[in-house]
Chain A
Amino acid sequence: MAIQIDHTNDDDILLLAVHDRRLDARSAPDLKASITTFVGIGWEWIVLDLSGVEFVDSSALGAIVSGLKALGRAGDLVIAGAQPPVTALFALTRMDKVFRMFPTAAAAVAALKSRV
């Protein structure tokens, strides 16, 4: 299932904003393809804005993990704007220890710009 994802950039930081309310087993392959395609063409600092997403399951989480793994040792992929159910998923699976999470896309971009 094709997902709705917008991309903009601020210098070398790529902002991916997901507009689907639900990311699950149906959308996971497309989410993975979207992120890894951007990594494949050279983006290394990526903000995934999930502020419009109300539900993420383990399949979609796996797609986000794929994006981080695709970076290898380079750059970072961080999460912005996660709503409480999505934050709970990251905590349940300990992925909140793996992904840096920011309240807003602006905060995430600022952090990546200063490389902190």
Chain B
Amino acid sequence: MPRLHLTLDASPETVPAAGGAVRDWCLTSGIDAAEAALVELAIVEALQNAIEHGYAGVAGQLELEADIDDERMQAQIRDTAPPVDLTRVAPQPDETLPMDRARLRERGRGLEIIRGVFDQVVFSRSAAGNQLTLTRARRRGPL
């Protein structure tokens, strides 16, 4: 199975092309269009989080690798920004219960999307930097 390996500048301008590369890689790897769109969305959210909250306006680079086998697909996103461990962020309460427009959040849904798409989200920190590992089991049938 093909691997994906990208290095990109930590800028919102580089994210769309990276997302497109992820989607194309998914399709080439046999993932259907609906699932590929979800994976693209979640990885875009993870890249954007690293840019906004990790690098926070400071220049830097992101590395994205992904591979796939019959059982699961896995992506790793590496950066050298100050560590932001998304996995320690508690899930947000359901803002739709009760439904009140004034309570709706305008930000902070990226992690919800990542957790919704990937079965496992693991953050690790080493001398080389930060790594977010995202794992999704291969689905059979409807998503």
Contacts and interface: CB of A to CB of B under 8 A. Distances in A.
B139 interface: no
Contacts, number: 82
A33 interface: no
Contact of A57 (B38, B44, B94, B99): B44
Given A58-B45, A65-B105, A97 B38 contact: no
Interface stretch (B66-74, B106-114, B128-136): B106-114
Given A68-B101, A73-B101, A88-B38, A57 B45 contact: yes
A92 B117 contact: yes
A98 B15 contact: no
Contact of B99 (A62, A66, A85, A97): A97
B38 A24 contact: no
B40 to A, nearest CB: 7
Contact of B104 (A22, A68, A73): A68
Contact of B48 (A25, A73, A93): A25
A73 B45 CA distance: 31
B102 to A, nearest CB: 7
Interface of chain B: mostly helix, strand, loop or mixed:
helix
A116 B55 CA distance: 46
Interface string B30-55: 00001001101100110010001000
Interface residues of B, number: 31
Interface residues of A, number: 27
A84 B41 CA distance: 12
Interface of A: 22, 24-26, 55, 57-59, 61-63, 65-66, 68-69, 71-73, 84-85, 88-89, 92-94, 97-98
Given A85-B34, A93-B112, 18 more contacts: A22-B16, A25-B12, A25-B48, A25-B52, A26-B16, A58-B107, A61-B109, A62-B107, A63-B106, A65-B104, A69-B106, A72-B102, A85-B37, A89-B113, A92-B117, A93-B116, A94-B94, A98-B104
8 contacts: A57-B45, A57-B110, A58-B45, A58-B108, A62-B105, A62-B109, A85-B37, A94-B95
Interface of B: 12-13, 15-16, 19, 34, 37-38, 40-41, 44-45, 48, 52, 94-96, 99, 101-102, 104-110, 112-113, 116-117
